[in-house]
Amino acid sequence: MKRLALVLICTLLVIVGCSNQQKEDDIVQTEEEQETEVSIIPTSSITDAQYKILLPYRPSAARGAITNQVTNRVDMDELEEGLRRHSVDVYDPSKYLFEEGQYLSTEFIYEMIDEMNPDVKEEGDKEDKIKAHRNNPRVFSHILEQNFLKKNEDDSVELVGLSIGISLKSVYRFQVETGGADYYEKIPQAEMIEEGKKVAEEVLKEIRQQEELKDVNVMIGLFREEEQASPVPGNFVAKTLVDKDENSIGKWEKIQEEHVLFPSKNGKDKYYDDYQKVQTFSERIEEYFPNYVGVAGKGFYIDQSLTRLTLEVPLEFYGKGEVIGFTQYTYGLVKEIFPNHYDIEVSITSSDGTESLIYRPAGEDEPKVHIYH
């Protein structure tokens, strides 16, 4: 297992609004084959729920593979961010460092995808081929690996755990003729989860065959992708933790998460109160700003409870004073309409980009405001 010697030296992680004064970060010396590679552990993370990341940043061993396997950009982002979010429950950010996956290569991932997905035999006429695909959908699309390391008392750093995200399709798209029409087969969630659990067992078996990964914790999450053109991402549906001395998966924990678009029929039908608040917010803006074209919102729900709401308000402005006035008005609406038990972020945009940002973390009364210059 790789071991890293630590020396305290350091530089303050500079974030927007912070001072330029410098502090010392931890310098990590990686000793491998009598060569020394120096890395840095920042002394600060952005929030308590964020991991410190070794610098210079080492890309994943499967860098770029996800873009060939997951078709929706928002799914790519949520697969990565959601896996890291669930990892917080297993690997405490105050104790562990984060690094992109260094052990599962692009070749390994492609081989697993080919091995675990059915080989559809296109025989007979067109209808026979369509039927063959519908009866044997390729559900499994990608594996995402994340690594977690700890700093030891003897000034070394070592790998203590992996998080593995297994990405699975909710809709299987296929062709039976090169360049021909696209066909779609919806994958029931229960069927998708069953397939994902089979994949997880095989991935774990392969992981345990690697010498460096024989005795580390492995957290595995099953991710359900959304449709290709969806404006909101999919979500994790199940997860499990395999302790370092175990070689098989025990119980799975069900995850209830959902990303909801506002306004939308789904949002209105499932979360009517939140839908109405977004509508009221939109209508109040429209009363005073006739060039307003409507709000676009996204809500993130855990166990059917709203935890984060992001709203984008597009407008055309004719001066900075108008931006300031509109931001002040919107600030008041946020305080008046939306309760403070979830995070809320409002981006006010124009054709030139983001003009201002209003943000209020859950539990706080006063929103924070930034106007861009």
- Residue-wise pLDDT tens digits, 181-191: 999 999 999 99
For position 330, what pLDDT does the model report? 95
Beta strand 305-314 with 296-302 is antiparallel
65-87 CB burial, b ≥16 within 10 A, e <16: bbeebbbbebbbebbbebbbebb
Report in angstroms the alpha-carbon separations of 312 from 6, 65, 222, 309, 357. Answer: 44, 31, 30, 10, 9
Same domain assignment for residues 88 and 232: yes
Same domain assignment for residues 160 and 293: no
Report in angstroms the alpha-carbon separations of 274 from 110, 209, 261. Answer: 42, 49, 11
Report whether 276 contacts 297 (CB < 8 A): no
For position 281, what pLDDT does the model report? 96
Q: What percent of the chain has pLDDT over 70?
A: 87
Residue 107 is part of which domain span? 59-255
pTM, two decimal places: 0.86
Same domain assignment for residues 231 and 115: yes
| Residues whose CB falls within 8 Å of the CB of residue 38, separated by 6 or more in sequence, listed in order | 27, 28, 29, 30
Same domain assignment for residues 275 and 236: no
CATH number of the domain to which 177 belongs: 3.10.570.10
Same domain assignment for residues 201 and 278: no
Report whether 36 contacts 29 (CB < 8 A): yes
Distance between CA 121 and CA 138 in Å, rounded? 13
212 domain residue, yes or no = yes
163 domain residue, yes or no = yes
Same domain assignment for residues 67 and 192: yes
Among 255, 272, 289, residue at a domain's last position: 255
The total number of structural domains in the chain stands at 2
Mean pLDDT of the 217-225 span: 98
Residue 24 has pLDDT above 60, yes or no: no
332 domain residue, yes or no = yes
Same domain assignment for residues 360 and 228: no
* Eight-class DSSP state of 327: H
Q: Looking at per-residue confidence, does 302 or 44 come out higher?
A: 302
For position 12, what pLDDT does the model report? 31
Report whether 164 contacts 205 (CB < 8 A): no
Same domain assignment for residues 142 and 105: yes
For position 68, what pLDDT does the model report? 87
1 domain residue, yes or no = no
Residue 20 has pLDDT above 60, yes or no: no
> Tell me: the pLDDT tens digits for 321-360?
989 999 999 999 999 999 999 999 999 998 889 999 999 9
Band of residue 33 on the pLDDT scale cut at 50, 70, 90? very low
Q: Looking at per-residue confidence, does 115 or 124 come out higher?
A: 115
Return the structure tokens found at 294: 């409507």
Tell me the pLDDT of the chain averaged across its residues: 87
Same domain assignment for residues 274 and 231: no
Same domain assignment for residues 222 and 317: no
Mean pLDDT of the 286-299 span: 85
Same domain assignment for residues 186 and 335: no
CATH number of the domain to which 343 belongs: 3.30.300.190
Sign of CA dihedral 113, 119, 125, 128: negative
Q: Is the peptide bond before 361 cis (omega within 30 degrees of 0)?
A: no
Same domain assignment for residues 203 and 103: yes
Angle between helices 272-288 and 320-337 (to 10 degrees): 150
Band of residue 206 on the pLDDT scale cut at 50, 70, 90? very high
